[in-house]
Structure 1
Amino acid sequence: MKLNTRILLVFCCISTFEITAQNPIIKHIFTADPSPIIHKDTLFLYTGHDVATEADTNYKMSDWHVFSTTDMATWKDHGAPLSPNTFSWATGDAYAAQCIERNGKFYWFVSTFHKKSEVSQGGAAIGVAVSDRPTGPFRDAIGKALIINEMTTDMKYAWDDIDPAVFIDDDGQAYLFWGNGSCKWVKLKENMTEMVGAITTFKPKNYIEGPWVYKRKDLYYLVYASAGTKPEMIEYCTAKSPDGPWTYQGIIQENVTNSFTTHPGIIDYKGKSYFFYHNGALPTGGSYRRSVCVDYMYYNPDGTIQKVIQTTKGVNKIK
């Protein structure tokens, strides 16, 4: 990183949000694939970490970071409590992940690649780490991958089992969604480390990757990165049940600045709805050097989602 870029990043970090544009919200490192949760009065944000150089032509993602805020303006970096090295079976990069709390423990579902072994010939895989605290330390919860490439055969390539999204319904049933090229889902046991029943595969309109699943009132939402155009946009479906059928609803977010990909993370916090995503807007940023942003998200009376307006200002500080 050039000296003048370092100076700019430091200036952005110490300036108040009223003076300096808030988005991207993390300025001292490159971050991607945001995943927010609420624990007590704090919003915790889990992200990937891009470490590719300006000359690199593919992703290099070394670990996963945790940040926190109580006012949506001041962010604390809790470091990188998890990396592919945490998993003895893993190799490669730290792709999209999502953390969720259950029964006093925090389960961090991650996507990376599997070493060639007796159980797998390699390819993308999903693991799960666990901790007693939202900021770690995290450990491999089961000592093996939860999902391996051999479990899904609809896509004829090795990188389709990525981007886990976990959701716990009101009745306590947990669901895991994931997939590149097609969307896959399976029920989880209460321990969050074992599957129940068969894996279901389907393909929402324009779906490519990065699902995010949640419930609001009586409606279930499946939000995802779309392949309707290139670069990616964010589109969504709704349903009356987490196992569908899903009804396509349209585009939430148009293309982002200076990045081929984008990735949704949606949450309600202190009376507002927030839409997290990433772009390539930082100095020296790009498709392999991305940065997490946040803007407001609004619903129509019928539950459909209004298009997200991407801003450099971001969201207001909660007083």
Structure 2
Amino acid sequence: MGLGTSKIIRTLPAEPEAALDYTTSEAGNPFVKGWYADPGSAIYDGLFWVYATPSRASEEQTHIDAFSSPDLINWTKHSNILTTANVAWATKALRAPTPISWNGKYYIYFTANDIQEDDIEVVGGIGVAVADKPEGPYIDAIGKPLIGDYHNGAQPTDPDIFIDNTDGKAYIYYGGQSHANVAMLNEDLISIGTFDDGATFKEITPESYVEGASMIKRNGIYYLMWLEGRRDGPDYCVSYAIADNPLGPFDRLAKILHQDSAVAKGTGHNSVIQVPGTDIWYILYHRQPLSETKENHRIIAYDRMYFNGDGTIQPITMLVKDNFADGHMLDWTTYGGEWSVEDQRLTVKNTGGGMAMLDTNFSDLVFDAIVATINGNGHPGLLFRVTELSAETHKYKGYKAAISPTGVITLGKADLGTFTDLAQTRMNMVIGEEYHVRVVAIGNEITVFVADMDTAKITFIDESFTTGANGVRVFNAAAKFGSVSVAKPPRS
């Protein structure tokens, strides 16, 4: 067919973007605003594209949105690129988009109506829509589902398209309710073909498979990824298998992405992006913030995906970073003060007291940030192991490591309005100048570094708080913060 390379490289930029060498979404996850799920991805004419399902109840899922970016940092939203108004047989549960381009056209494969095996009177399943531009509008290509029935016990849901660069053949991987299938696509990409043995749908279900099949190829190795577990359970995760051909067999190797009690829960339904001309790979997926209890409050995120020398995939580490390069503070909640992002800094006007918090829950940690006092004599600093916080009074329980323009470095703890200095020291500081502040907390030992990351300014033993949220705090000052990173200490 000559469709190009693998599913993840649809249309290559003119020049490789080797500079896009990130460890995670450096400007923060979620990387776009809103409740979304099921991110599918592509690269068209030098832009990265992500197509996502608004995370809502099935009856309210009547459209799909897209986001484009030249650098995986700054994203432009394209609303309603596909709606049920343009798919006559779809009424709800429009979800799980996966994109591809071919012969100057752009295609979206999707699921609609969430059909069940005994719904013999209900039309639904996997559809395909086509457009002249990546941002649509997309319209139904065939006027009916591409796959509208159960085959081999697989619910027709969660499609993924893969083009093999060995022979140009196109495959569709899909399946829910613990069964996965693969089928051939004909050259028109809107009809199902047959395999050499005459079969139409081949079952490839790996161990523990639930839904969300995804295929990539790297260095001649075929990688099948999928969802396991219950969406609302602790075992919800992405696992994978490898094979030497696109039909398997796919023997489960390991989990590669699962919830982290310090960062997020409900991690799943992935796609993958490779930066063209490089061996840099990112896994895109949906997840739920730790404090969210509504099942459809999900966000889309991405993290770096690394491979071992033998081709296996390393476990994905969900990192917490925000360099504010996108001009937003999407993953922050503020309490008091007037907060904004200016020149890649989280900035707060002079206030009697204010906080900006991340939805995290770290115990042992390495917490880095740039801190500067713009004006005033207060003590801006980093909050960690925060266990309680009052939205009304802005009082909290937890630790604070702060600096002041007079040169005072303070480690203290707060107990809902009562603040206790644990340790102080001094160094020369200048108002307006930025200082790198690092807190390392392992067990009951807390170490604070300022400017010099080799020599600690404060080391103190305290066991008042063992785990909690992270954020920044300002008191009687205007301040700015940047290059925020919270991570688990490296293993010794």
Which runs of structure 2 are paired with 1:44-83 in the superposition (5 Å)? 44-52=49-57, 60-83=60-83
Deviations 1:190-216 (A, max 9, x none): 110111121112320111011111111
Q: CA deviation at 1:65?
A: 0.7
Q: CA deviation at 1:287?
A: 2.7
How many residues are paired up? 287
Provide the TM-score with structure 2 as the length reference: 0.54
Give the letter aligned to residue 275 of structure 2. Answer: Y
Bigger proportion of residues as strand: 2
- State whether structure 2 residue 304 is matched by structure 1 residue 296: yes
SS of aligned partner of 1:264: strand
Q: d(CA) in 2 for partners of 1:99 and 1:211? A: 14
Structure 1: stretches of 5+ with no match in the other structure: 1-19, 53-57
Q: CA deviation at 1:255?
A: 2.2
**Structure with the greater alpha carbon radius of gyration:** 2
Larger RCO (CA within 8 A; separation ≥ 6): 1
Deviations 1:89-123 (A, max 9, x none): 1222112120111222111000012799xx95226
Give the letter aligned to residue 179 of structure 2. Answer: S
Q: CA deviation at 1:275?
A: 0.8
Please say which of residues 81-90 and 221-230 is displaced more in the overlay. Answer: 221-230
SS of aligned partner of 2:95: coil
Which residue among 30, 48, 51 is the counterpart of 1:24?
30
Name 2:180's counterpart in structure 1. 183
Runs of 4+ aligned structure 1 residues displaced above 6 Å come to: 314-318
Q: d(CA) in 1 for partners of 2:265 and 2:124? A: 22
Give the letter aligned to residue 170 of structure 2. Answer: A
SS of aligned partner of 2:313: coil
Q: CA deviation at 1:124?
A: 4.6
Taking a change above 3 Å as real, the CA distance of residues 183 and 311 of structure 1, as seen in their structure-2 partners, is same
Name 1:263's counterpart in structure 2. 269
Q: d(CA) in 1 for partners of 2:201 and 2:210? A: 18
Name 2:19's counterpart in structure 1. none
Which residue among 124, 138, 161 is the counterpart of 2:156?
161
Structure 2: stretches of 5+ with no match in the other structure: 1-25, 195-199, 327-492
Taking a change above 3 Å as real, the CA distance of residues 259 and 125 of structure 1, as seen in their structure-2 partners, is farther
Q: d(CA) in 2 for partners of 1:244 and 1:161? A: 20
Percent same amino acid among aligned pairs?
30
> Could you tell me whether the CA contact under 8 Å between 1:24 and 1:281 is conserved in 2?
no
Give the letter aligned to residue 86 of structure 1. Answer: N
Name 1:38's counterpart in structure 2. 43
Q: CA deviation at 1:154?
A: 2.2
Give the letter aligned to residue 128 of structure 2. Answer: V
SS of aligned partner of 2:113: strand
> Could you tell me whether the CA contact under 8 Å between 2:241 and 2:252 is conserved in 1?
yes
Give the letter aligned to residue 218 of structure 1. Answer: G
Provide the TM-score with structure 1 as the length reference: 0.82
Name 1:206's counterpart in structure 2. 208
SS of aligned partner of 1:85: helix
